[in-house]
């Protein structure tokens, strides 16, 4: 599809090669996108970021030798698509119910929707990866031939027509708006700016650690954010209203980005990590306490320690 073609794909600017002025503008754009995303959260967001789904996305990207950025972007595309897709389906069903459909008919319809989505879900995941690969400057494109080959290699069958229909459905459902927050972009941009602001920070080493830290957080997303909720509220069993408000924290890519860098800095050199956290506070405006709380929670999960209510007391 011409929509995704780009001559820039061959340039492949590496990490640490972007001028500061461009980075500054890019960070401002990321901040704007992040705030817009937080202002328009769906009540269903996060439901398709479960560990097994994310692991599946990452394994597909690894098998197809794609850049890690593709995996995170594919996860966001899948999440937004599935949320909108199901909201539209059930909105249509609610209209039918108001027009006289019985409860029994509604239940049967929901069962049919579940079966249909369950049957197509793996293809939706693969299509999300395909779309994300076409948007990445540092990755090869997964066309339908490569996708078909992959499906056969894992014992699944799907026609090229079905693959194209799946990809088009995702694009149409998202109104071709694919400018979605990619957590790795936030991490790398913040890290590069951190390096410009403080040349003593070993950004090359941190960049390597950050990729593993971000992957760990994504794969342990549920338990980590549950622990953070406990820390923030000081309550071992937070009430539903706290969980609803906390969704804006779980979807905050800027907060996630600074936490990833803080954790990596702690692992790399504990004696200088407070200096890094202070610089991240200056860059983003996110409080030092918030950064440290999140970092401490992640470090506890990495070390296998049980979560505590108060980490900084």
- Domain presence at residue 165: yes
Residue 269's alpha-carbon distances to 4, 191, 197, 265, in angstroms, are 41, 16, 18, 6
Residue appearing with tokens 């209510």: 309
Q: List the structure tokens of 170.
A: 């995702």
Q: What is the pLDDT of residue 237?
A: 83
Q: How far is 188 from 202, CA to CA, in rounded Å?
A: 13
- Domain presence at residue 28: no
Final residue in a domain of this structure, among 173, 193, 219 = 173
- Domain presence at residue 84: yes
Domain match, 250 and 205 both: yes
Q: What angle do CA 142, 154, 168 make, to 5 degrees?
A: 40
Domain match, 164 and 209 both: no
Q: What is the pLDDT of residue 244?
A: 84
Residue among 259, 289, 132, 251 nearest 187 (CA): 259
Identify the domain containing residue 164 by its residue range.
43-173
Domain match, 48 and 161 both: yes
Final residue in a domain of this structure, among 155, 173, 191 = 173
Tens digit of each residue's pLDDT, the chain (313 residues): 333 333 333 334 455 667 778 888 989 999 999 998 898 887 778 889 999 999 999 999 999 999 989 999 999 999 999 999 888 887 766 555 545 555 555 556 667 777 778 889 999 999 999 999 998 876 788 999 999 999 999 999 888 999 999 999 999 999 999 888 789 999 999 999 999 999 999 999 999 999 999 999 999 999 999 999 999 888 888 888 888 889 999 999 999 999 999 999 999 999 999 999 999 999 999 999 999 999 999 999 999 875 654 444 4
SS (H, E, C) the chain: CHHHCCHHHHCCCCCCCCCHHHHHHHHHHHHHHHHHHHHCCCCCCCCCCCHHHHHHHHHHHHHCCCCHHHHHHHHHHHHHHHHHHHHHHHHHHHHHHHCCCCHHHHHHHHHHHHHHHHHHHHHHHHHHHHHHHHHCCCCCCCCHHHHHHHHHHCCCCCCHHHHHHHHHHHHHHCCCCCCCCCHHHHHHHHHHHHHHHCCCCCHHHHHHHHHHHHHHHHHCHHHHHHHHHHHHHCCCCCCHHHHHHHHHHHCCHHHHHHHHHHHHHHHHCHHHHHHHHHHHHHHHCCCHHHHHHHHHHHHHHHHCCCCCCCCCC
- Domain presence at residue 82: yes
Domain match, 292 and 265 both: yes
Domain match, 166 and 188 both: no
Domain match, 47 and 169 both: yes
- Domain presence at residue 268: yes
Residue 173's alpha-carbon distances to 59, 74, 84, 87, 232, in angstroms, are 25, 15, 7, 11, 35
Domain match, 131 and 197 both: no
Final residue in a domain of this structure, among 173, 201, 234 = 173
The predicted model scores a pTM of 0.85
Domain match, 138 and 199 both: no
CATH of residue 86's domain is: 1.10.472
Question: Total structural domains in the chain?
Answer: 2
- Domain presence at residue 8: no
Residue 158: phi and psi, rounded to 5, are: -165, 135
């Amino acid at each position: 599809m011409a929509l995704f073609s780009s001559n820039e794909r061959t340039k492949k600017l590496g990490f640490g090669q972007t001028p500061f002025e461009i980075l500054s503008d890019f960070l401002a754009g990321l901040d704007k996108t992040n705030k817009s995303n937080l202002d328009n959260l769906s009540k269903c967001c996060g439901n398709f970021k479960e560990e097994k789904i994310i692991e599946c996305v990452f394994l597909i990207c690894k098998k197809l030798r794609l850049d890690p950025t593709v995996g995170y972007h594919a996860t966001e595309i899948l999440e937004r698509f599935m949320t909108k897709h199901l909201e539209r389906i059930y909105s249509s069903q609610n209209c039918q119910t108001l027009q006289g459909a019985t409860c029994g008919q509604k239940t049967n319809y929901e069962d049919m929707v579940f079966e249909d989505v369950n049957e197509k879900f793996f293809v939706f995941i693969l299509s999300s990866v395909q779309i994300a690969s076409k948007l990445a400057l540092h990755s090869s494109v997964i066309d339908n031939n490569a996708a078909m080959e992959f499906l056969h290699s894992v014992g699944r069958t799907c026609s090229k027509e079905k693959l194209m229909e799946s990809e088009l459905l995702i694009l149409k459902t998202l109104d071709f708006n694919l400018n979605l927050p990619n957590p790795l972009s936030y991490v790398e941009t913040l890290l590069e700016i951190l390096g410009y602001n403080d040349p003593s920070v070993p950004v090359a080493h941190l960049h390597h650690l950050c990729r593993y830290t971000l992957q760990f957080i994504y794969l342990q997303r549920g338990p980590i954010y549950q622990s953070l909720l406990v820390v923030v509220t000081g309550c071992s069993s937070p009430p539903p209203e706290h969980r609803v408000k906390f969704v804006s924290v779980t979807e905050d890519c800027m907060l996630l980005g600074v936490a990833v860098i803080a954790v990596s800095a702690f692992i790399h050199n504990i004696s200088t990590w407070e200096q890094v956290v202070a610089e991240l506070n200056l860059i983003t405006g996110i409080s030092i306490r918030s950064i440290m709380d999140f970092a401490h929670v992640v470090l506890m999960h990495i070390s296998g320690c049980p979560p505590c209510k108060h980490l900084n007391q």
